[in-house]
Amino acid sequence: MEPLKRRKFIGLGLGAAGVVTLGGIAGSPLSVFAASSSEIENLREFVFKQDPLPYKYAALEPSIDAMTMEIHYTKHHATYIKNVNEAIKAENLTYKTEAEFFANASKLSPKARNNAGGAWNHNFFWASMQPTPSSMPKGKLKAAIDKSFGSFDAFKEEFSKAAAGQFGSGWAWLVLDNGALKIGGTPNQDNPLMDDAKVKGKPLLGIDVWEHAYYLKYQNKRPDYVTAWWNIVNWDQVAKRMG
């Protein structure tokens, strides 16, 4: 009987220890194992996550080729995720949200800042595109574009110039700022949410103009990549972001 009692005692002890470790989420030793994933997640530090790609690698052809998409997603984007989360841990960063992270971008180390931008920007970029042919903006979004730029064609021309003319690596953005739409570029992996960004506002649309985003297919012809990219813009997603 002694071994049985001993095993029973150890089992209860482990159960009680589990409750203490998880901060008293549950009211009994057994119920700790039924704690919801969201409750457990709240106890963990904030980390960046790579969103699942919403289409297959070849889905955006011929605008973006399958090999570029696969390398871009599995190598470049995945590395940004890995590196920023390493920085969060190594530097004991305590920001709780992406918005809070970028609101303090000017205080971050180069590793934390650049890789955080790369992590967020690419999740935003994947969702900005769709496999089906791009339609025209409609409703509130179209009205805002017309008001801010005169016409959709004028908007495309200005945005394309910002994308093709971004010196070196970076991004071009359409943002909503105080009710008006603006176009601007950011270097490296900066974005309009950063406290010291050159262009600030709520990001609605962005294009990656780093060479790794287009070089396999377009080589040094960035304007050709930008022209092809308009065929896969997800305007419904842009409209949702505008609200």
Q: Is 60 exceeded by the pLDDT of residue 24?
A: no
CA-CA-CA-CA torsion for 103, 104, 110, 114, nearest 10 degrees? Answer: -20
Distances (CA, A) of 115 to 10, 85, 90, 203, 226: 45, 9, 14, 18, 24
Q: CA–CA separation, 22 vs 66, rounded Å?
A: 44
Question: How far does Cα 20 stand from its chain's mean position?
Answer: 35
**How do residues 120-166 score in pLDDT, each as one tens digit?**
999 999 999 999 887 899 999 999 999 999 999 999 999 999 999 99
CATH homologous superfamily, domain 65-243: Iron/manganese superoxide dismutase, C-terminal domain (3.55.40.20)
Q: CA–CA separation, 192 vs 133, rounded Å?
A: 27
Cα–Cα nearest to 22, from 10, 8, 34: 34
Please state, as a whole number, how many other Cβ atoms lie within 10 Å of the Cβ of residue 222.
18
Q: Which amino acid, one-letter code, is at 235?
A: W
Domain ranges of the chain: 65-243
Q: CA–CA separation, 144 vs 139, rounded Å?
A: 9
**How do residues 166-210 score in pLDDT, each as one tens digit?**
999 999 999 999 999 999 999 999 999 999 998 999 999 999 999
Instruction: Please give the model's pTM, rounded to 2 decimal places.
Output: 0.81
CA-CA-CA-CA torsion for 11, 16, 20, 23, nearest 10 degrees? Answer: 100
**pLDDT average, residue stretch 42-52:** 81
Cα–Cα nearest to 190, from 132, 87, 118: 118
Identify any residues that bridge with 173 across adjacent strands, giving them in sequence order. Answer: 184, 206
The proportion of the chain whose per-residue pLDDT surpasses 70, expressed as a percent, equals 82
The phi-psi region of residue 23 (left if phi > 0; otherwise alpha if psi is between -120 and 50; otherwise beta) is left
Identify any residues that bridge with 177 across adjacent strands, giving them in sequence order. Answer: 180
**Type and span of the H or E element at 110:** helix 110-127
* pLDDT value for 44: 54
Residue 24 tokens, joined: 């008293």
**pLDDT average, residue stretch 30-40:** 40
